[in-house]
Amino acid sequence: MPVQWDVGYIIKKREQNTPDKTAIIFEDEPVSYRQLNQGTNRCAHYLQQLGIKKGDRVGVLMLNCIEFLECYFAAAKLGAIFVPLNWRLVGPELEYQLNDAHCRLLLFHDAFLGSIDPIRTSLKVENDKFIYCQSGNPNMPACPNWAADYHAGTDDKPVAEPVPDKPIEMDDDLAIVYTSGTTGNPKGAVLSHGQTYFKCLQTAMYVQDNQETSANEVMVAQMPLFHSGGLFIVATPVIFGGITLVMRRGFDPDEFAQDIERYKATGVFALTTMWRFILETGKLDQIDSSSVRSVMGGGERTPPSLFEELAKRGLYMQQGFGQTECSAMTLVPKEDIERKMGSIGKPGFFAHVWIGDKNGKELPPGEIGEILAKGPTVMSRYWNLPEMTEKAIVNGILNTGDLGYMDEEGYLYIVDRAKDMYRSGGENVYPAEVEKILAGHPKVSNVSIVGVPDEKWGETGAAFVVPVMGQEISEEEVLAFLQGKVARFKHPSKVYIVNELPLTATMKVKKIELKEEYVRLQQQ
């Protein structure tokens, strides 16, 4: 049989080349590349026994774990389409995504039995294809009688490579990854095997540009695997590169910092909000982080003070930009972190990114427009949404939905999400611009601004501010901090001091919930 260049080939090749090397350290237990591929093959044979064929959708609702990766690579080897589900969703939200993708099978952790049981009769999942997996928590319930046990089904299966029922091509669908759903119903971005290979290559080139190749690379990253960043920017490229990934079920800032020292991490990946939590623990001042050569992450609203705090500890964070529809678009070179503060970097080797007008025509440096992207890492389409696909991708060009500009050297700067912009007194206001300034206040831990109705100006800003732990801040202090830093019409007219912001699992602020909270506060 000819070689299948599916994503499952990555883990097969890793077993051939570096069988005994540690692939994953999960909850302090090492798993070799041989063990990971053999577990993948057992899972693939089990899926075939259950009747899963090329093109079938396989849903997975799990915390980070080895079984998640086994099922992912197994589905890839069979040509099935992997559908990772956000474990923070509630029943109706899970029902929508599972039925929208028409998943034939659902593999889920015991921790989510309470979410699945009430909706299972409404799902299109076939009755014999509910698969239950223990998460390692002894307090979780036993496998229900309407589900099959994952390990009981896989443990006796052969470790030989599976043979798919049909050949798998590079353009075939690999996964459907639903957007965070911060506004409206989430959309399923369809990602192919070929696109995923290019993401691995692009990420590898980012890392290669920053550090020497080493057989002892260790990456510490606690992104959730259900998210495109966790699965396609961290886990898959790390395995592709033969690196060791330190992985835990979930993110704990204290433990994250300790893992950097414990496993002599050479690379670290964390989002801006994660770094805030990590810095608050004080653990970075108690560990040896001298092994770290590459720090990636950031976010749209990363204040200079956060870069400075990390740099004091020898951690020089390179901010990047990507989204579910097109991952790993840009990254700031390590040598330009300070010189290009505020930039999200230059486009990667396989990503053509530019600023365009409404017709896609490239705008000159410094002019704000839509961030457009083209290349082999752009998604194939939105699942079952041809009209939305046609709006998002025109002639192969993806409109990211973000507004930004490029400087004379080709460095990209995000202004805001197009949908977050509001008009106050006829002027465009980009909340992210004001949020970045407020995030630099020494008493501010996090902040988010939304546009709300205003009788005088049409719309104005409402700022929700989370103070640093142990600090108090007033509305007057917030507004005073903006004086002279940004035009008066951009100042929020309402300031609310809150304990926390509603976040998605990937630390994005749910602005639609903030708008709902504003309405509720107005009615009090």
Q: How confident is the model at residue 524 (pLDDT cuts 50, 70, 90)?
A: confident
Give yes or no for a contact between 468 and 442, defined as CB atoms under 8 angstroms apart. yes
pLDDT tens sequence across 327-361: 888 999 889 999 998 899 999 999 999 999 988 89
- For the domain covering 421-523, report its CATH number: 3.30.300.30
Q: What is the pLDDT of residue 183?
A: 47
Q: How confident is the model at residue 169 (pLDDT cuts 50, 70, 90)?
A: very high
pLDDT tens sequence across 374-387: 999 999 999 999 99
Please indicate whether residue 428 or residue 493 has the higher confidence score (pLDDT): 493
- For the domain covering 29-168, report its CATH number: 3.40.50.980
- Report H helices in 211-362: 228, 236-240, 253-262, 272-281, 304-312
Mean pLDDT of 430-443: 89
Identity of the residue numbered 334 = K
d(CA 422, CA 352): 28
Whether the per-residue pLDDT at 72 is higher than 70: the answer is yes
Q: What is the pLDDT of residue 426?
A: 67
Mean pLDDT of 397-408: 92
Distances (CA, A) of 106 to 42, 45, 120, 349, 368: 17, 16, 10, 37, 44
Give ∠ CA 514-518-520 in degrees, rounded to 5. 115
Q: How confident is the model at residue 508 (pLDDT cuts 50, 70, 90)?
A: confident
* Residue in the block written with tokens 């939200």: 93
Q: How confident is the model at residue 10 (pLDDT cuts 50, 70, 90)?
A: very high
Distance of CA 374 to the CA centre of its chain: 20
Collapsing DSSP to helix, strand or coil, 236 comes out as helix
**Where along the chain do its domains lie?**
29-168, 193-417, 421-523
Please indicate whether residue 436 or residue 41 has the higher confidence score (pLDDT): 41
Q: What burial class does residue 363 get, using C-beta atoms within 10 Å of its C-beta: 0-12 exposed, 13-18 middle, 19+ buried?
A: middle
d(CA 6, CA 122): 33
Q: What is the pLDDT of residue 484?
A: 84
Q: How confident is the model at residue 206 (pLDDT cuts 50, 70, 90)?
A: confident
Please give the biggest Cα pair distance in the chain.
71
Q: How confident is the model at residue 303 (pLDDT cuts 50, 70, 90)?
A: confident
Whether the per-residue pLDDT at 236 is higher than 60: the answer is yes
Instruction: Specify the pTM.
Output: 0.85
Whether the per-residue pLDDT at 403 is higher than 90: the answer is no
Q: Report which of 309, 319, 265 is spatially closest to residue 287, judged by C-alpha positions.
A: 265
90 C-beta neighbours (distance < 10 Å), count: 10
Please indicate whether residue 416 or residue 440 has the higher confidence score (pLDDT): 440
Q: How confident is the model at residue 322 (pLDDT cuts 50, 70, 90)?
A: confident
d(CA 100, CA 125): 11
Asked if 193-417 and 421-523 have one fold, the answer is: no
d(CA 381, CA 500): 35
Give yes or no for a contact between 31 and 24, defined as CB atoms under 8 angstroms apart. yes
Q: Which CATH architecture has domain 193-417?
A: 3-Layer(aba) Sandwich (3.40)
Mean pLDDT of 425-445: 86
Q: What is the pLDDT of residue 313?
A: 94
Whether the per-residue pLDDT at 212 is higher than 70: the answer is no
pLDDT tens sequence across 456-497: 777 899 999 999 989 999 999 999 999 888 878 899 999 999
Mean pLDDT of 311-327: 90
Helix and strand tally (H, E) in the chain? 16, 27
Q: How confident is the model at residue 88 (pLDDT cuts 50, 70, 90)?
A: confident
Chain mean pLDDT for the chain: 91
Q: Report which of 126, 116, 148, 152 is spatially closest to residue 42, judged by C-alpha positions.
A: 152
Distances (CA, A) of 363 to 344, 346, 358, 372, 394: 18, 16, 10, 11, 18
- 10 contacts: CB under 8 Å, gap ≥ 6: 73, 200, 236, 239, 240
Tokens of 441: 């206040």
Q: How confident is the model at residue 504 (pLDDT cuts 50, 70, 90)?
A: confident
d(CA 144, CA 14): 36
